[in-house]
Structure formats: structure tokens, C-alpha cells
Amino acid sequence: MNGSSDKTYAGLTYEQAVRQYADTVTGVCIMRLENYADAEDCFQNTFVKLCYSSPAFDSEEHLKAWLIRVAIHECASYRRKNRRVISLDAAAEPAVAFDHEAHDMSWALMKTPEKYREVLYLHYCEQYKVDEIAGILKKNPNTVKSLLKRGRELLKSIYGGDTLG
């Protein structure tokens, strides 16, 4: 990429930033789009924006939050531009298949409605606190708390027990 080799992002080179935050951006995109191919497109767009239009970052945490916000916006934009008509047979099949035996909660998150999925992912997978999630998603902290509470209840029913705190 033109000029990316001399830029730094919170002290990281472009390549280091991609390596460090690839899983985070991928997770956000998959949780939003439920499709690996579409998520890959938004992943690429997110990192292209980092290379060409990023602000100055105060810290690596600031960079990570910026990437998450950009990924969320990329996914929303992608969905608006690529609305699809699908058959009822295709709608019955999950867009992303997960190993239900794995200790990873991704498969359970994919069974929750999108409004809960995002806050649950940021809380459990990315380890963000309520106030941080509120800042990233530009939501009221009380709204995030409510979404987490209801989302936890859904996850408990999916997992079939009281395993989440």
C-alpha cells in the first residue's frame, strides 16, 4: 500500500496493526454479517481505511476501538448496498457453521439477535467493559447494560444452563 510503510498507528506499523487486530475485526464482521465472504470484504475495507484515512491514535486501545467502529460501519454499509433476496430453503440454513462442541461461544452468539450479539461479542470475546462498549457503539451505558442482561439470558437458554456471569 502506498505510504503505509512509514506510517505508525499507536506505535505499530500497518502490518503489525493488521496482525494484532485481525481476529478482532474478523469477529466483529462475522457477528454482523454471518457470512465469511462478506465479512472478508468488510475486513479488507476496514484496514484500507486504516491505511488511508486514519486519525492519530492516543493508544493501542484507541486504535482497537477505532477499528471496531469502522468495521461496524463497513458491515452496515455493506448490508445496505447488498440486500439480497434468498429462498426460504437458504434462509433455513445458518450462514456460518460453527463447531458446537468447541468451547468457543461464537456458535451461540450467532443464534442471538443482532442487537444482543454485538454487545455480547464485545463484552465476552473482546473483554470490553460496559462504558467502553457504550463509547464504541455510541449507545447509552444503561442501554448496553440492558442488552447485556437480556443477551446473557438468551445465551443461558442456548447453552442450556446457568454458565454465564
Q: Does residue 107 lie in a domain region?
A: yes
Q: Are residues 80 and 138 in the same domain?
A: no
Contact assessment for residue 67 and residue 46, using Cβ atoms and an 8 Å cutoff: yes
Contact assessment for residue 17 and residue 50, using Cβ atoms and an 8 Å cutoff: yes
The domain tally of the chain equals 2
d(CA 122, CA 139): 13
Q: Are residues 77 and 32 in the same domain?
A: yes
d(CA 43, CA 91): 24
Instruction: Say what the pLDDT of residue 161 is.
Output: 60
Q: Residue 61 sits in a domain of what CATH number?
A: 1.10.1740
Nearest to 27 by CA among 127, 149, 129, 165: 127
Domain end point (choices 62, 97, 132) = 97
Domain end point (choices 97, 123, 142) = 97
Q: What's this model's pTM, rounded to 2 decimal places?
A: 0.71
Q: Helices 60-81 and 14-33, interaxial angle, to 10°?
A: 40
Q: Are residues 57 and 9 in the same domain?
A: yes
Contact assessment for residue 29 and residue 43, using Cβ atoms and an 8 Å cutoff: yes
Nearest to 64 by CA among 9, 119, 7: 9
Please list the rounded mean pLDDT of every run of 10 residues in the chain (165 residues).
68 94 94 88 95 87 95 92 54 42 62 87 90 92 95 83 54
